[in-house]
Amino acid sequence: MAPTMSDVQLTAAGDGAFEEVRLLDAYDEENSDKLNDNLRRIQVRVSGMTCASCSNSVEQALMGINGVFKASVALLQNKADVIFDPNLVKDEEIKIAIEDAGFKAEVLEEPSASCTSQHGTVLGQFTIGGMTCAACVNSVEGILRKLPGVRKAVVALATSLGEVEYDPSIISKDDIVNAVEDAGFEASFAQSSEQDKIVLGVVGVSAEMDTQLLEGILSKLHGVKQFYFDRISRELEVVFDPEVLGSRSLVDGIEGGSGGKFKLLVKNPYTRIASGDLEESSSMFRLFTASLSLSVPLFLMRVVCPHIPLLYALLLWQCGPFLMGDWLKWALVTVVQFVIGKRFYVAAGRALRNGSTNMDVLVAVGTTACYVYSVYALLYGAISGFWSPTYFETSAMLITFVLLGKYLETLAKGKTSDAIKKLVELTPAAATLLVKDKGGRVIGQREIDALLIQPGDILRVLPGAKVPVDGVVVWGSSHVNESIVTGESVPVLKEVNSAVIGGTINLHGSLHIQATKVGSNAVLSQIISLVETAQMSKAPIQKFADYIASIFVPTVVTLSLFTFLGWYVAGLLGGYPEEWLPENGNYFVFALMFAISVVVIACPCALGLATPTAVMVATGVGASNGVLIKGGDALERAQKIKYVIFDKTGTLTQGKATVTTVKVFTEMNRGELLTLVASAEASSEHPLAKAILEYSRHFHFFDEPFDTKESQSNSEQDKFSGWLHDVSDFSALPGKGVQCFIKGKWILVGNRKLITENGITIPSNVERFVVEMEESARTGILVARDSAIVGAIGIADPLKREAAVVVEGLLKMGVKPVMVTGDNWRTARAVAKEVGIHDVRAEVLPAGKAEVIRSFQKGGNVVAMVGDGINDSPALAAADIGMAIGAGTDIAIEAAEYVLMRSNLEDVITAIDLSRKTFSRIRWNYVFAMAYNVIAIPVAAGVFFPLTKLKLPPWVAGACMAMSSVSVVCSSLLLKRYKKPRLTAILEITVE
């Protein structure tokens, strides 16, 4: 095991709403289309593409195949994404078409909608150092994807992380690390999805006997498959059977077996990743200060010493063939150039070896040219007696300014990941475990590591403490601050059976909670994973920037060469006067300085940072405001939203339906009708059914409050048992209601459609009653027994208080709101009128909502769907932007691009507003990234020198190059000041 491996607890994947969010999923979905049933999608690896014309050739070859619906080619990823009709064309024909176009092709495994790894594969994260620009990212990704056993690989520059899905039976994590390091980059393993491995720090091992004791304990523990103890790092890696041995049992077994001699520590798996930026920043600061300390004397010798006679005389002292000053300059710059600046040569060589070019190539070329020429000038002067000016100071200053820029860049980049760091800090370190006897009585308590909590544990949470894990309250009452998860500042009351979220803060009373979801299944861990994934994702706009960056360096080198030749040849031909030349200079030196300035000023780093830094900050800001964003792709599309489709129940309304009216139309009394209806609805999961059940129970037992401790421990089903009729042949009909048999009678409970489709006539008095309810925004439920209407129930679902204001705010933003519901037209119109929505689609079945969305997408309109994230998954998936609105885990994260953690429609405004401001910032970033080049390259090349005598010395060019990256990152950091619009300000929004 590598000593650099972090202490990490690897837990099994569960069923949490966030568990399936991974970087590779965002990678797969960059060009995803919502396919209908008769189309299929495959991805093809294409080798041999070198430029945009190559990718265009592949696309044209694919689109020329009969049956191919759509084809897009990613040059930088060497992949083609093809959507086709499998009845008309086969995979092999697609491969042959690409090969006929002159390229190599390999059909990859079909992308799966499931986010879990394929059988036998592991999803691992690796920290990768030494990357400086988009070209480096492309190189590392290319290296990883070519490794045998690697299925997918994505690398992010902004976070210095790579995510690799690989087959451990073919390639190990160490092989992956070695492959990256062989290419000249730094790499180390961070964590993986393996479910039966844990890494622990061991305290107490000081001698060989201790090591033998530890190995003996592990050998005797039932369920341990294999283990490895690193004596240097004191880290213990254990592979165990989770069905036999739990992580806490493993730790307890080792500590107990040692008689308390050993103490095991489990660290948060994100701690090491979050601290990587600090290490990089510290390393860059050391290099910068070392370079600066050697460059300052050079500056003093050139500027200050000539005014101090004694020092200047010392510098002019002849020492061998050179002056003392020349010897000092040469010595100092050599250290800067080849010791401190070694990283530029290593990185440049790495890039060239991998067939790419980057910033390091430009720096290495520019500084080497200055250094080599200066050494040549010294040697030539010693031989010929003709002393030309040297540019040692230029070389040293260039390296110093570049290192300063990289240092400031690492500081700024570190700030962009503050969201993850803050979330990691919220993770509790320890928890109080209540120990119970077989009868369930508490007999003691003990402190345990929060990462060792297991489902089913009963934990005590004192006032002011963090809730250690997701769970359910089993004793006590208190208010909990959930703002760190939901963004909601108002404390939430927690009583018995209330769900709590790990990392939130218990404010007042003491609570006992039972752990339900731990480790990677916990909401906080899933939010961290989601934010991290989003920050590592690439927006489509970045593809163009990556392409520009990939051809930028060769273009600049070529431009520099032409600049040199132009000035040098012009000088030889008498194209400009000799007085333009520097003292003791010549045409060669004059032209060389212009060429070096061009090389140095033009750097693609800022271009590569323009999008990812803004996306990182935006996702962090969104998370702190309760808006979780799946990635840069979602941000880019959200700023173009034209229509927002709202579900009604639980989205525009509070989702807490209550019965307001019960009407009986036969000799049956009200209690009998409610018992009949409650019996029929008891098996339904619909919100209206739950409202009817609760109302019926209260009607029958209102004088027996459901508040006793004994009743609180009962299940939901127990609440209604004992007084309901037995039901047979129950059937739920989506969009209509339910039907069943009770005591031999055929019972129907639902809307008009259900009643009329079964041949039952609705009397006029019943129709009038239902119409009256619907016109007052209530839903009318009809009850039929056999072939006659026996009663009707009116149900109201109050609107959310902010619904009308949000709808008006969307209109002010130029976004058209639409309501789609399965409810009847009268109720739908009444609700829509109350909130101000003019476009309503009613009586739409859940599966039909997707068709409504597609109708709005015609003409290229970007459509967002806002739903409760449970039964609206098909619609969320069909929309260009799915916004799942809900709290905690009750959201369909796999279908939505935005997760609105609060049940508050204001977050729809926030999501769109944040997206627009983010891409406005990205556009400014590209201005900052390109302005230095567009404006400064002509100046550096001397275009204006004949008219203005304006030159850009190489060291000034280096300063401009360094500041371009810093300007971009600092521009992105301004997004941290984002404040979501207040309700009072929403109505003042105007269309830009």
The catalytic site residues sit at 647
CB distance 538 to 30 below 8 Å: yes
CB distance 563 to 941 below 8 Å: yes
621 token code pair: 């800001």
How many of the other CB atoms lie within 10 Å of CB of 213? 19
- Euclidean distance between CA atoms 629 and 623, whole angstroms: 8
Mapped onto helix, strand or coil, the DSSP state of residue 732 is: strand
Mapped onto helix, strand or coil, the DSSP state of residue 764 is: helix
Which distant-in-sequence residues (6+ apart) come within 8 Å of 413 by Cβ?
158, 277, 609, 613, 969
What are the two backbone dihedrals, phi and then psi, of residue 574, each rounded to the nearest 5 degrees? 75, 30
CB distance 783 to 790 below 8 Å: yes
What are the two backbone dihedrals, phi and then psi, of residue 793, each rounded to the nearest 5 degrees? -130, 130
What are the two backbone dihedrals, phi and then psi, of residue 112, each rounded to the nearest 5 degrees? -105, 145
260 token code pair: 């308390």
How many C-alpha atoms does 733 have within 13 Å on its Cβ side? 17
CA torsion 153-130-46-57 (nearest 10°) is 130
Which among 950, 642, 653 has a CA at the least distance from the CA of 804? Answer: 653
DSSP β-ladder status, 470-476 and 430-436: unpaired
C-alpha distances (whole Å) from 325 to each of 331, 334, 582, 772 are 10, 14, 20, 100
Q: Which residue has the tokens 């919220």?
A: 426
- Euclidean distance between CA atoms 149 and 165, whole angstroms: 9
- Euclidean distance between CA atoms 866 and 693, whole angstroms: 28
> Left if phi > 0, otherwise alpha if psi is -120 to 50, otherwise beta: which for 783?
beta
CB distance 217 to 188 below 8 Å: no
- Euclidean distance between CA atoms 412 and 62, whole angstroms: 43
- Euclidean distance between CA atoms 752 and 934, whole angstroms: 68
Q: Which residue has the tokens 């599966």?
A: 847
CA torsion 581-584-587-593 (nearest 10°) is -80
Which among 841, 889, 881 has a CA at the least distance from the CA of 865? Answer: 881
State the distance between the two ends of the chain, measured CA to CA, in whole angstroms.
Answer: 56
Q: Which residues pair with 511 in a beta bridge?
A: 461, 476
Which among 889, 968, 912, 951 has a CA at the least distance from the CA of 15? Answer: 889
CA torsion 860-862-868-870 (nearest 10°) is 40
Rounded (5°) CA angle 121-124-127:
160
Count the helices and strands in the chain (H runs, E runs).
Answer: 34, 36
Residue 210's H or E segment, with its range, is: helix 208-220
- Euclidean distance between CA atoms 338 and 761, whole angstroms: 94
Q: Is 488 exposed, middle or buried (0-12, 13-18, 19+ CB in 10 A)?
A: middle
- Which amino acid belongs to residue 831? V
Q: Is 924 exposed, middle or buried (0-12, 13-18, 19+ CB in 10 A)?
A: middle
- Euclidean distance between CA atoms 176 and 536, whole angstroms: 19
- Euclidean distance between CA atoms 987 and 813, whole angstroms: 9
